[in-house]
Amino acid sequence: MIGGSGYGSFQEGFDVTLPPNFGYFVTDNLAAGSGLSLVYSKRNNYRNIATGLQPFVRYYFGQDAPTRVFAQANGNILYGGDKSTYGESEQKNSYRHHSLGARLGLAHFITEQVGLEVKLHYNYNFPGSNLTSSAFGFSFGFQIHLPNSASM
């Protein structure tokens, strides 16, 4: 399974997050894998760039229906840097962010192998991470389920 989701915000600046992911079905309906976090933010005097890994385990409920519910548990290990500019002075910082998350989603398969998804998620940010508040969120994306060698 290969997929991704992303979101952007344009209020008072620009944010974009693109987390492509790759997984393998270890049994029917149960996939495990990892995503790659790519984050870019820009505000008036602030810029942030970060990368990281998002390991996950996902379970699809139901059998071969065109629309299926799934539950996912994931982690996030993110490292990045930011730069702030005020007048002639410039400040650079590096940071780390570690979190655990849960997602509940709905996947609608437009073909046998391509699914469009909507997800509700919650991320708990560990103490010591630069991001201190945990958060609920909403995202959308897609998955491509490649056939394995046994189904070819």
The full DSSP string for 2-48 is EEEE-EEE-TTSEEEEE--EEEEEEETTEEEEEEEEEEEEEETTEEE
Task: State the chain's mean pLDDT as an integer.
Answer: 81
In three-state secondary structure terms, 88 is: coil
What confidence tens digit (pLDDT) does each residue in 30-79 have? 999 998 888 777 777 778 788 889 999 999 998 778 999 999 999 988 88
Q: Sketch the domain layout of the chain as residue ranges.
A: 2-151
Residue 152 is predicted with a pLDDT of 43
Give the model's pLDDT for residue 5: 57
Mean pLDDT of 105-122: 92
CATH number of 2-151: 2.40.160.20
Decide which of 107 and 85 is more confident: 107
pLDDT at 104 over 60: yes
pLDDT for the residue 23: 93
pTM above 0.85, yes or no: no
Q: What is the mean pLDDT of residues 101-118?
A: 93
Please report the pLDDT score of residue 9 as a whole number. 53
pLDDT digits (tens, 9 = 90+) for 129-148: 555 556 788 888 888 888 87
Assess contact for 129 and 99: CB atoms under 8 A. Answer: yes
